[in-house]
Structure 1
């Protein structure tokens, strides 16, 4: 009864669609208009991807840090390395640039040579005064500027590592943005409309190249690159997949309808993003292109079945009805397995991945219904296929390829198993060579100017990725105690000795500078005061920047005086050194700060990102296991056979292991972008498995349970569609290799490679396993009575049902 119900259901769908064509198209137009109206809600993310859940201890500590000191990623740095900098023309242009930026409302503070303040002791008032370092009236004198340069490099160690590199002569300015606007569109407007034009104007006027970096700048230009690539991916994937479709079917009309379907699918994907109020992130930006790459194979499968049916009886109406009736459920199941591959990302407990999994799985299922309706309706309006349109069913090179596979499956199964086991062993060796990367910049476009600027600042100032250490003294005003300052100074000395970290900045630097100023600016006294000096020097220091815009003391000590902040910047070569750096800092901190009196927290964007990568790896591996489990349940429910579950899983597990092994051998690290490969590739690869087994099950019935004959028949029917769709998916995902982002390139290349392995595995290893285990798989008690019949039906069965 279930079987006839299934047949009746899809027969009903076919009749409803073909008899109500105008209504069906009207519904699709209405849905498209509704979703197009949601585009107004689409907006790009203004924050970095946080891979950790809110309740993770690393996130809790990071948020506690932000509560005390505000957004930490608000620093933009502008650097210059040019011998002509300390000349009147260049200096005047620099001062003009800095003053222009400082006047903008988005800027909280600019620290630059032209507005630099130095501490000077006022004995009469018993306090320090901030006086200008540069006299603007004398900057037209080249000799004066040379004097300023000498004094800066030799007499102001407080600013070394912050504003200059004494060894190379590089100069830079620090622009601190208003922390309230760092994660808003105002940041983008300032960078794109104010900062970039001002820098370009300076370079044009002086012929001096400036280097710009810092997290707000990097994030803005990175986001602009992502947005620009959305159109590139959509255009390229549409071009490649439609050309392949035309090459296979040689029909302009069939190609046109496939293009129309995936374009509507892309429109829907943007509409769902707006409807769900999801931001466009580095992941959701891929969804429209994924819809094209996944949608075209749907069109291929249905169009190929239509041509196969039409070739048999040359009746267009019957062929269109049989497309839905005979493969509707099988097509649904393949789309469900694809959707499962993406939907399992929701188990990651990460907002970024949950949104990606939700919107992708929703769009895949929407695309299925779009295809199952539009393709029959469209072909009902156009003439029947001509002979040249169905010649692909007997194309020589495809037939030769399929015959070669069948020959190997039939005569060389042992060799197939030997090759499979050998590849498995090699893959395991490669997997042991894999490494994990928590780098913030590794996936950024290497050829982009802003990436070259990152490398410049890493070389000149030892990094741009902020790493924060927060010290809780557990007492109000505990930071300014001399004992605490000495402990902080000892930790900073240890940090300065770590090659991957820059010179640290904290209130300790200001206190040292205060002592230097107390002794009339003598750089030999740039050190912490002793117990005799602390009373009057610290009282001077507390007033050092009280009236200055953007109080530096406030940036490194919270308002209660209980919490102190040490900021350093980290080289970001590959992110692999972060655990080593973290362990070294913790070891030193535990030794210097007694846990009963202090609490030391390591945090910062670079640290959170690295921890997020490790967390993501654990959770996505769990998601992949969950995908295997759901697929196994689906296969088990379909076929009621444990061995069939093994037959379906093994051919899809091997390609994943092969890809992981290749990543190990070619030093492609596990990172957020490459981790996604496995879930995506499994969801797509298992489609071929379901398609093959569904067809094989039907062929067993038609051929009186003759195994070999059924395998041959399966290849003659499903094998061609498997080949076509795999080729489209391979080249479709290869489009992502056009990206300038290393992560997207790796994602596209690795998914393509995995799907290629998956096609070969499903065409060779899968039927070999079926033939080897044929007796148990064909056992009537185990295999003939599935809970749910989702497979194709013979012409006789359909015609008999139609008569009834």
Structure 2
């Protein structure tokens, strides 16, 4: 049968090499062809868990009252006042033309709203704004300022800005959103209002996707450039740069093509997949090349050196691919489709990189003369004179190193206690981003742009929201929402009844309140039902058993909103037994709730990755001391980065929680290579001290090169305009930097402490 090395040598022939290259080339051509169907998508709602009962409740709420995020807000400014006949004429023309656009369901503009007047002769409607008459316009503006329902919803407090609200068909595709947005912009230009401010889902989606595509190309290009620099420093040859990049680049091509074949679009998370795969996949390639070149320096023939390399490093390389894949796959423990897909496809990509590293890479090395791969340093590595001195320093100061790391862990633990779970709706965008600036302008001008939704359900089937005692309960909650909670432009069944009572009393502002008795309330409710759904404005269901309280508010962050939600619920509960149930819902509420639960799930997923990795290490090394040596140098950086987050007030959210699983899976690779080499030398009968020295001087060189490349690859993410990607780049880079230091300082110290014999 022969030794494993001899069997590998028999496989490493030029004929087999050409066969592998032919198969890889064929598959790669098919992958290029599959890229035709690649799509880019960005949908907030995909980040909600499918099995969440709150999401199910929101879907029922949305089915009754419509979507709370399929709209566009237009902010129109004029100094000293928007109550200008010429401007209002433009706004009215704009509203009329927008309403005629395809896929637009409704346009709300103060210029096209009427105030009902209920008289013994019937219901009459008076326009809120008779902008064609200067005298009447002055009276109408004063009348609006005495009507909180219209004034708070459509106008700024200083009367220098007004709102027009456009509702679209629900669940529009990316293509339909792009078409509608182009039509809206053209309409604004035709009406002479091209500088009008806009916020809404289709504006944000268009901006996000354009930025995602641009940044995906930027990150991958920067990673390739930086890694090429480090490959040149490490190998000093053109082929030493081209071969690793070609191997990993093809793995990325295959992975993205697989997503295209399965109909999976590129999203906010999967756009990072090419960069992450390129950086992570390069680690194993460099380890194998370093080992191969070291074998060549001993005088082995190329085929013999290659067989020795794969015989010695092959299984540890498989373990590194497996543990990295596990680190990414544990993201699937979060029941969120985009995170599950990101974890799954990145794990598959890591395994594809491993497959090409064990097929295409040896084929290329068999066909490449060693002098072409590393002509300048075949006899001497640039790291040869640095590693011995560093190893000696580490061994001499191992006690101080151990004490220093204990102090670091204590400091990091203290910092972790300062972390809070928090998120903002548009936190991803920088302050100078036009979409972010538009959102902030709407917040400042109109008292908020974050939607507020409260679901009102009658638990007594014999009652409706139009019963006076029910309305009074809703009124008390609405007063709290307006004053203590900070909602602006609140609409509810109460505001409808206010308006009906006012309309039935000749429009007198003094009657903008609930009727004094149940009989009058019942008469107004009956009159309102005759007016049909238009009168309820999508606030009350047809049977009167379901209603909503809606408005807008400042985005103060999920942490603050959680506190305010608890206070609101306490206020509702304090009202005593009630025939109605009031619970918050809506997109903003779900985003806050989802971020909190997801962050916890992701941290638990990282714990699962640690447990699985520990079991793999125990199976491979058969020594609990090796398990400790494998885990501690990679857990300490996670504690330290948690401390950094706490001291720098970096909130825990989905984008920062995933770095723990990713960083652990990546950092563990170098540890496995180090300990596998240590195990190899110990099995050859060497003492722990000598085995550690051999490991440090040989494998430590590859660890140094791969760590520097990992850092250079992830640091490119700090160029992102998305805050989540920026923090991902910063925190993973810092974590890997800490892990690199722990690898060279703490790991040898632990080996000398735990494995003296």
Q: TM-score range by the shorter chain?
A: over 0.9
**Aligned partners of 2:16 and 2:363 also within 8 Å:** no
Task: Call closer, same or farther: CA 1:366–1:206 in 2, change over 3 Å.
Answer: closer
Q: Which residue of 1 aligns with 2:352?
A: 366
Which range is displaced more, 58-67 or 752-761?
Answer: 58-67
1:678 maps to what in 2?
660
1:648 matched to which residue of 2? 630
CA contact (8 A) 1:556 1:566 kept: yes
CA distance 1:559–1:244, change in 2 (3 Å) = farther
Deviation at 1:167, TM superposition (A): 3.7
Name the structure 2 match of 1:472.
457
CA deviations over 1:491-515 (Å, ceiling 9, x no partner): 1110011354334222322221122
Matches within 5 A, 1:166-315: 166-167=157-158, 169-179=160-170, 182-185=171-174, 188-199=177-188, 205=192, 209-313=195-299, 315=301
TM-superposed deviation, 1:188? 1.9
Residue 190 of structure 1: how far off its partner (Å): 4.5
Measure, in 1, the Cα distance between the counterparts of 2:6 and 2:465.
Answer: 78
Q: 3-state SS of the aligned residue for 1:556? A: coil
Deviation at 1:189, TM superposition (A): 2.3
Say whether 1:713 aligns with 2:694: yes
Partners of 2:328 and 2:662 within 8 A in 1:
yes
Structure 2 distance, partners of 1:110, 1:607, is: 25
Q: TM-score, normalised by structure 1?
A: 0.88
CA distance in 2 between partners of 1:739 and 1:330 (Å): 34
Distance 1:393 1:311, change over 3 A: closer
2:602 aligned residue: 620
Instruction: Indicate if the aligned counterparts of 2:718 and 2:729 stay in contact, CA closer than 8 A.
Output: yes
Report the CA distance between 1:129 and its aligned residue: 3.4
- Distance, in Å, in 2 between the alignment partners of 1:569 and 1:191 is 25
Per-residue CA distance 1:677-713 (angstroms, 9 max, x = gap): 10000001111110000111112234x3222222121
Name the residue aligned to 1:422: 407
User: For 1:321-720, what aligned pairs fall within 5 Å after superposition?
Assistant: 321-385=307-371, 389=375, 391=377, 394=380, 398-399=383-384, 401-474=386-459, 475=461, 478-531=464-517, 532-544=519-531, 546=533, 551=534, 553=536, 555-592=538-575, 594-595=577-578, 597-702=579-684, 704-720=685-701
- Helix, strand or coil: the match of 2:198? strand
Q: 1:793 maps to which residue?
A: none
1:389 shift after superposition: 4.1
Q: Which stretches in structure 1 are left out of the alignment for 5+ residues?
A: 777-804
* Mapped contact 1:442–1:574 kept (Cα < 8 A): no
CA shift, 1:48, in A, is: 1.1
Instruction: Report the CA distance between 1:90 and its aligned residue.
Output: 3.5
Q: Deviations over 1:317-370 (max 9, x none)?
A: 333333333322221111111111101112223322211111010011001111
Aligned 8 A contact 2:457 2:546 in 1: yes
- Distance in structure 2 (CA, Å) of the matches to 1:6 and 1:606: 60
Q: Residues 341 and 679 of structure 1 are in contact (CA less than 8 Å); yes or no, is this contact kept in structure 2?
A: yes
Correspondence for 1:770 among 730, 744, 751: 751
Q: C-alpha separation between the residues in 2 aligned to 1:101 and 1:286? A: 38
SS of structure 2 residue aligned to 1:682 = helix
Distance in 2 (alpha carbons) for counterparts of 1:186 and 1:516: 45
Once residues 53 and 766 of structure 1 are traced to their aligned partners in structure 2, the CA distance between those partners, rounded to angstroms, is: 40
Alignment size in residue pairs: 754
Matched with 1:792 is none
Q: How far 1:123 moved relative to its partner?
A: 3.0
Change (3 A) 1:388 1:628: closer
Within 5 Å, give how 1:129-148 maps onto structure 2: 129-135=124-130, 138=132, 148=140
Q: Report the Cα offset of residue 555 of structure 1.
A: 1.5
Does structure 1 conserve the Cα–Cα contact (< 8 Å) formed by 2:111 and 2:129? Answer: yes
Q: Let me know the Cα RMSD of the aligned residues.
A: 2.6
In the alignment, the residues of structure 2 paired with residue 671 and residue 217 of structure 1 have an alpha-carbon distance, to the nearest angstrom, of 24
Measured in 2, the distance between the counterparts of 1:552 and 1:303 equals 75
CA distance in 1, matches of 2:421, 2:250: 39
- Whether the aligned pair in 1 keeps the contact of 2:415 and 2:644 (CA below 8 Å) is yes
Partner residue in 2 for 1:160: 151
Q: Would the alpha carbon gap of residues 150 and 232 (structure 1) be closer, same or farther in structure 2, given more than 3 Å must change?
A: farther
Q: Alignment partner of 1:443: what SS?
A: coil
Equivalent position of 1:789 in the other structure = none
